[in-house]
Structures are given as C-alpha cells and as structure tokens.
Amino acid sequence: MSEKRAKFVRLAESRTSRAMQAIRTIGNLANKSNYEYSEQDVRAIRKALLSEVDAMASRFSNSDSRSRPTFTLGERSDVEQ
C-alpha cells in the first residue's frame, strides 16, 4: 500500500469514527427528561448534518468547494447561560 493510501485510510477511519461518535452524542439530546426541544429543532439539526454530509461528498468529486457554514438554532435569548 502506498504511503498516501495508508495515510488516507488511517485518517479516514479515525475521522469517520469521531464523526459517528459526535452524531451519537447529538442523539443523546433526544432525552426529554433532560432537554426541551421542538420538531423544528430536530429538523434543523438533521438538515445541517445532511447538508454537511452532502458538502463532504461533493468535495470528493470537486475539490474546489471550501465553504464551511456554522450551525445555530436561532435566538439564544431563552437559553440559560
């Protein structure tokens, strides 16, 4: 296996595993005994994640795409700090 291929495999496995774990932790937010959320919030999170997956796939076909949007649910005034 070439050095570049080995590096790709190592990093792809590591980064994909971390991304999957991060998604699992987002899923933990579904616990209604600890959190309050709306279906609109769930749709916004899902849309943001799917959009990022689409952007990642696009970068494999077109390496010129470097846009990195951020995610927010909107107003933060009702969030305790």
**CB-CB neighbours of 59 under 10 Å:** 13
| Residue 53 counted as domain residue | yes
| Residue 17 counted as domain residue | yes
Q: What's the domain count of the chain?
A: 1
- Per-residue pLDDT of 13-33, as tens digits, reads 999 999 999 999 999 999 999
pTM: 0.72
Please tell me the predicted confidence (pLDDT) of residue 81.
37
| Residue 44 counted as domain residue | yes
| Residue 48 counted as domain residue | yes
Please tell me the predicted confidence (pLDDT) of residue 62.
77
Please tell me the predicted confidence (pLDDT) of residue 63.
62
Domain that holds residue 9: 3-28+37-61
Average pLDDT, stretch 1-15? 96
- Per-residue pLDDT of 29-66, as tens digits, reads 999 999 999 999 999 999 999 999 999 999 998 765 56
Residue 65, φ and ψ in degrees, nearest 5: -90, 110
Residue 14 Cα distances to 20, 42, 54, 72, angstroms:
10, 27, 20, 26
| Residue 23 counted as domain residue | yes
